[in-house]
Amino acid sequence: MSANPLEGIRILDLSMWWSGPMCTSYLGALGAEVIKVESIQFPDGFRYTMAPPGEENWWELGPQWNAANMNKLGLTLNMNEPEGIQLFKELVEKSDVVIENFSPRVMANFGLSYEELRKVNPRLVYVSMPAYGSNGPYRDRPGFAYTFEILSGIAQTNGYANENPMIISGVGDVIASFHAAFALLSALEYRNRNGKGQHVEVAQAEACANLIGQPIADVSMNGRNWGRMGNRQPGMAPHGIYRCKGEDSWIAISISSDEEWQMFCEVIGKPSLGKDDRFQSLPSRYQHQDEIDQIIDTWTTQYSHYDAAKILQAAGLSAGPVLEVDEMENDRFLQGMFQEVSREFTGTHTFPAWPVKFSGERLQHQNPAPKLGQHNEYVLKGLLGQTDEQIASLNQREIIGTEPLGAKLKNK
């Protein structure tokens, strides 16, 4: 990429956990200067998720934190102190975007609502990502990806027939993240044309509801309320995950037409199945998928997941190996998707880069996740003109810092 498309844009990132931070990590990779704002009193809780307790600097070791917060600078500010609020407002004057994912009362309680910050910077794009929006009965309730998935209907349509609804490991955060990224970029484009900032709201539960447009449309148009179907799919049969040779080895297979079914029967050496009355049409195959699944299992268990997929793909059929995480980096299709990133405390590790290319060049991470307060001096001294003495005083009074307050007290 010859130039970073967001170069010159400064984003103040107050968001925590996954939904907001993933959005800003992407924008940082695009060239924006993203300043991640935490405090030593209340660091981003994602730092602690899966972090190994008891190890030195354990708050820097969480894999999810490291993956979600690359391409940023790290600043600490205690927003419970007037001086912390004042410093933040001075940063807002010099920034283009503020993004947060708290319930609506939080920023208002700090005196940092859009109405207040637009007085500081009328061109500011202010992005809010409340769980359930800024009005309505759930307004002040906190929420996480799992609750978004439940309320939006994702969990209700995911799982096996006659079994409990299933969540999808936090995918709600990712859905909300990229809705917010698109909205933020659109607001910047509007500002470029009209010179006006604005308040953008992305209710995370509403973003997740977009994922199930098909079931919502079906119940609205046809009165059909989708239940849980496991790996099956209306309009395709067979459609599922099938066991392969080896331990916990699987392949996904999807047959979308009668012609594909005839070809599939030829490939697995069972051409007579193509003439079986039970399997002649899509509706009849859908009704007899249990029998079909047993037949397919007999064939797939003879092969590894890669070999079975290769045979079916060679015939033009939709199939793919179900990959373990440790297989992904070496997969031929995914090669080039991964990037080594080095960071103090954690060393050099492989992370997925971004699934976006500009003129054939993949968008990659520009720097690792920041250490807590790593860029305090750059921001406070370089951007706000604070002296060394002022910065030392801020450290002494715990308005800034580089170690969580709880860890500091424990170490005394």
pLDDT attached to residue 412: 45
pLDDT attached to residue 408: 56
Sign of CA dihedral 344, 345, 349, 353: negative
* Averaged pLDDT, 25-42: 95
pLDDT attached to residue 410: 53
> Residue 407 above 80 pLDDT?
no
From its phi and psi, is residue 136 left (phi > 0), alpha (psi between -120 and 50) or beta? left
> Residue 1 above 50 pLDDT?
no
Q: Please, which residues have CB within 8 angstroms of residue 46's CB and are 6 or more apart in sequence? A: 16, 17, 18, 21, 62, 64, 65, 68, 69
Q: Please, which residues have CB within 8 angstroms of residue 373's CB and are 6 or more apart in sequence? A: 38, 40, 74, 75, 76, 400, 401, 402, 403
Sheet containing 125-128: which strands, arranged edge to edge?
A: 73-76, 33-38, 10-13, 97-100, 125-128, 198-201
The residue assigned the tokens 């604005």 is: 198
Q: Answer whether 0.75 is exceeded by the pTM.
A: yes
Here the tokens at position 121 are: 């910077």
- Percent above pLDDT 90 for the chain: 58
pLDDT attached to residue 151: 82
